[in-house]
Homo-oligomer: A and B are copies of this chain.
Amino acid sequence: MTRPPIPNQTTQLHVDPSVIDLGVGQPQLSLLPLERLGQAAALRFAAGAHDFLQYGAEQGDGYFRLALAEFLNQGYGFPVHPDQLFITNGASSALALICTLYARPGDTIFVEEPTYFLALRIFADYGLRPVAIPVDEDGLSVTALEAALQHSRPAFLYTIPTYQNPSTNTLSAERRTRLVELSREYDFWVVADEVYHFLQYRGAPPPALGLHAEQDRVLSLGSFSKILAPGLRLGWILTSPERAAAFAHSGLLASGGGLNPFTSSIVRSLLDDGGLQTHIAELKQVYTQRSETLANALRNHLPEANFHLPQGGYFFWVRLPGNLDARAIMPHAEQFKVAYRPGAFFSTQQGLANYLRLSFTYYPAGLIEQGVARLGRCLRSLAP
């Protein structure tokens, strides 16, 4: 049998170094806190306790949840209790577990339009049927949501309330209240993907939907992927103590124990000594600057494109002029050695063709500027 060559690769992406792929929604390698995590690991091993190598408490290490609750208390500005937290392998793992326990194949779910395209892939694996609810500058349209609820009841609504991927919009305080009311009235779960919440560059968003996690039908997903390191595969679900315990009592957890005892025990040191907060402050500084660079580059090189300066998160959501189809242009962009994610990826309705998503987290300022310049040349070469 002939084998393909072994792709000896550690990371998910292999970006051709000659291409500037502004679509990559990942942190730059050099921004990952190798030294901080190395010290935290050394500290944990030096402590001499073996327990973090054992099958872990199903809901997550109790000491880690205590430290995480304290971090969220401070970061969110409302009380979070350790028994409201269930520790996951990140937001994607949380979504998979929610699809298992809160839905059955064939169920309708509501998603945003646009929405995070890879979440759609997870929902598809579980045989769920997404119905799109539009997003505008104040986030998810609760009017459209209420109208859709007249026709069908979703197993859950999947929303990214803050610095949405890809639209960058944030759900207003009024709409958050209304969304929670509707979930009560129409009896559906709100699955809030809040992984960008702490990446605030220009003012603060309304309180996280996790605020309603205890009293209402809200499952708030958090993750260390965007604020520390994706390779850890570590995150949490913030919900009511009863629901957090129910995740812990599922078969997967009963069999394998907690989802990440080893890594959570290492990260606990960074929660205890404030290392995580320091790292987030550093990230915010870097990302604030890079988002300015990207905005300026767009103004200079794509003056005909329409966008809002994002208040936080990872992305720009750019509307191309006229009837340009961002997906159709991709092979052309490739010749200019630049890439992006076309808007159509984020649509469940074959819409958003003239949008594209750009990120400012993967490249330093110089390459961001250069990438947008290439994109500008690419688009101008297409002009009639």
Contact = CB atoms under 8 A, between A and B. Distances in A.
A366 interface: no
A327 to B, nearest CB: 18
Interface in A10-50: 10-13, 26-27, 29-30, 32-34, 37-38, 41-42, 45-46, 48-50
Contacts of A207: none
Interface string A313-327: 000000000000000
A52 interface: yes
A252 B93 contact: yes
Interface in A234-278: 241, 250-252, 254-263, 265
Interface stretch (A55-63, A131-139, A146-154, A300-308): A55-63
A92 B58 CA distance: 13
Contact of A4 (B42, B50, B83): B83
A118 B254 contact: yes
Given A51-B10, A57-B12, A100-B126, A233 B255 contact: no
Contact of A262 (B62, B105, B233): B233
A42 B266 CA distance: 13
A118 B251 contact: yes
A70 B92 CA distance: 31
Contact of A119 (B82, B229, B255): B255
A53 B279 CA distance: 14
Given A121-B251, A251-B123, A255-B122, A50 B62 contact: no
Of A7, A41, A116, A262, most B-chain CB atoms within 10 Å:
A262
Nearest to A14: B57
A273 to B, nearest CB: 17
Contacts of A3: 81, 83, 241
Interface of A: 1, 3-4, 6-13, 26-27, 29-30, 32-34, 37-38, 41-42, 45-46, 48-58, 61-63, 65-66, 81-83, 89-93, 95-96, 100-101, 104-105, 116, 118-127, 214, 225, 229-233, 241, 250-252, 254-263, 265
Given A3-B81, A92-B255, 8 more contacts: A4-B83, A12-B55, A34-B53, A38-B46, A118-B255, A121-B255, A124-B251, A233-B259
